[in-house]
Amino acid sequence: MGKSESQMDIVEKSSRSGARRWSGAEIGLTVLVLLLSGAVAALLVLHTARESSFHKASVEAVCTTPGCVTAAARLIQNMDPDAEPCQNFYQYSCGGWLDRHVIPETSSRYSVFDILRDELEIIVKGVLESEQEEEQDRDAFQKAKRLYQSCMNESLIELRDSAPLLELVSRIGGWPVASADGDSSREEPWSLEDTLSTLTARYHKKALLDMFVWTDDHDSSRHIIYIDQPALGMPSRDYYFSDGNYKRVRDAYLQFMEGMAAMVRADRGLARNDSFVREETERVLQLETDIANATSPPEERHDVTLLYHKMALTEVQQKFTLNGFNWTRFMQGVLSGVNIDLLPQEEVVVYGGPYLQKLESILQAYPVSTVQNYLTWQLIIDRVGSLSRRFKEARANYRKALYGATVEEARWRDCVRYIQSNMENAVGALYVRESFAGESKRMVSGMISKIRQAFIETLDELHWMDQRSKEKAMEKAMAIKEQIGYPDYIIEKGNPKLDMEYAHLNFSELNYFENILENLRAGAQKSLKKLRERVDPELWIIGAAVVNAFYSPNRNQIVFPAGILQPPFFSQQQPQALNFGGIGMVIGHEITHGFDDNGRNFDRDGNMLDWWSNFSASHFKEQSRCMVHQYGNYTWRLAGGQNVSGISTLGENIADNGGVRQAYKAYLQWVQKEGEELRLPGLDLDHKQLFFLNFAQVWCGSYRPEYASQSIKTDSHSPLEYRVMGSLQNFGAFSEAFHCKQGSAMHPEEKCRVW
């Protein structure tokens, strides 16, 4: 689990290489595409404007460049022209997209982000399977390819079957439910401290409790140990208690656990004993349910200033005895793998105090064998995807109940995603070299400057904030650091830093399962060894081949990986109205994260510090309550009519609202300086309207009901439709652009605004 950076949204995407010249024949083909799409007028417009595509003398002049024609075709295809924009702008913008796209049987959700991610993965697949001579001396690339090859070696994975899993179970002390009469056959007495330290340090698995090393919220230059409540086996607490789809998932989860235990028993040559397996797994599920009940729900963990409790390790031992649990033994066991000794008065930050207080009575209520069964199961459940097909088949019903997907992803996609997430800089370098136009970095940097300035100017419009707090906000906004595209060193041939990142890893093409275990250990060690290191402010928090954007409150830093710098978000060839409505909105979104309900607790240097006056802090909460109420009143039919959590999604909603407002302001300033842009062919929309159209189309997508039920409980973002509707209902400039009457659905009487 551990702490994570603030994310923009549903992640993922891919990129195309630099500008490409189109021939007249290609332009003609695109005109035909537009004609077939229903944009008949485009043919006449292109005919009359062909000789003067960049001439601005006429208001009706139309842009006929390949970039403009392509953008127009995309926008038109995605729209529903029969929908009324002032009643439902999401349907107006995305109705065509929703009609044309069916969620693949392998997926739980399908969106613009998912399509871009799928395209990016095709590019990554190509470079991982290539055998270019120039790569032979790049150790990082060779290791990434070797790991990929081991993942793709399905015949060997089938041949090895359960052997790697049985060895793993033996290595961690056994699995009582899969042993004779529940005996784990350990020679030494079982130790909870030692088992948890092994899971944490060797397998990067956080079960029962979560210990991790992260930047100290109160001192962004150093790292510190955190203790928190763990992630659960199922996605959220609701799956353990609620009815409907949650109960269906719960039943399938129990069947999955039973099936896995029975298979391991059989492979170890033990008698079937179905009643014993059922009793033991039901007891494990009851333990998990008690653990879930002890965890605090997201709504109660929203204020990081209330979560943070720094204390000496001795105080942790006194406050949270956990039925005789030795905290020093556990933590020293975790750190021994990176040769770090605990200090006599080691400081620890406890995030999960209420959970730890409840955990003691839970541990007292269950025998050691049940706790051991639970911990082993938590490790095993994550490894099923790397085993033979029969284990995946045992998981199929659970996966279908949880996601609604009926078919496993293509093997190569699973392998690409695994390499991406575990060797992100190596994959990022391969991707950037193959598909990223370097000029984009300069252009996006210029947009960041414009939107940052728009945010600062917007502060003058806020009557709820006093001057002292506005000045502090301006200082923080000016101090936000930016990372765009990729770190330079990953593509510098003479720079050994990339290869050094993976020097400690040795992969075999024959042992995918063991390669995964090595990655788990390396990941744990990479995190833990930072405890005595100073924070590196230049470190990238994400790889380049990612379709997403990020803000880090501890670093006061925004990051825009190469993967998101492509249409519909950004293109050097598409109108600036679309760029500002796309990547511009993303930039504004990430800047605003520095001032949302979480980010506002950190100062310009990334330290958790209250820089607000009482007046401004009080009014910030008042402004925020409006959005909590607004989004909390949205009901999501796909999730069984449940209401969106206005509290859990508040930070992202604030960022969405602020982001589109700042990007629009920056675009109008750009127009004032550079002049009106040419119109797009086939679209009777001005560029203010095109800004909002592209903003909305970024969020086109649909969900399966099973995933909607999960997302509404676990995602900090509102459903895609409400990200668009909520932001624009609050923005008067949208209503002006589309001439919406006050009182219409998109122009309500009451509007919410924080930034």
Q: What is the DSSP string of 566-623?
A: STTT--TTS-HHHHIIIIIHHHHHHHHHTTSTTGGGB-TTS-B---S-HHHHHHHHHH
Say whether 276 sits in a helix, a strand or coil: helix
Quote the CA–CA distance of 297 and 281 in Å, as a whole number: 25
Of 9, 603, 652, 656, the active-site residue reads 656
Question: Residue 222 is which amino acid?
Answer: R
656 labelled catalytic:
yes
Q: Out of 346, 590, 652, 721, which one is annotated catalytic?
A: 590
Q: Which of 509, 567, 563, 524 is nearest to 540 (CA)?
A: 563
Q: What is the DSSP string of 376-397?
A: HHHHHHTTGGGS-HHHHHHHHH
Tell me the two tokens of residue 89.
């702008």
Dihedral sign, Cα of residue 715, residue 287, residue 404, residue 642: negative
To the query of whether residue 414 is one of the catalytic residues in this protein, the response is: no
227 three-class SS:
strand
In sequence order, which ranges of 161-220 are alpha helices (DSSP H)? 163-171, 192-203
What DSSP designation does 490 have? G
User: With contact defined as beta carbons under 8 Å apart, do 98 and 77 qualify?
Assistant: no
Task: Please give the Cα distance from 359 to 658 (Å, whole number).
Answer: 40
465 within 8 A of 619, measured Cβ to Cβ = yes
Residue 461, classed as helix, strand or coil, is helix
Q: Using alpha carbons only, how large is the chain's radius of gyration in Å?
A: 27
CA distance 124 to 107: 20
Give the active site residues.
590, 656
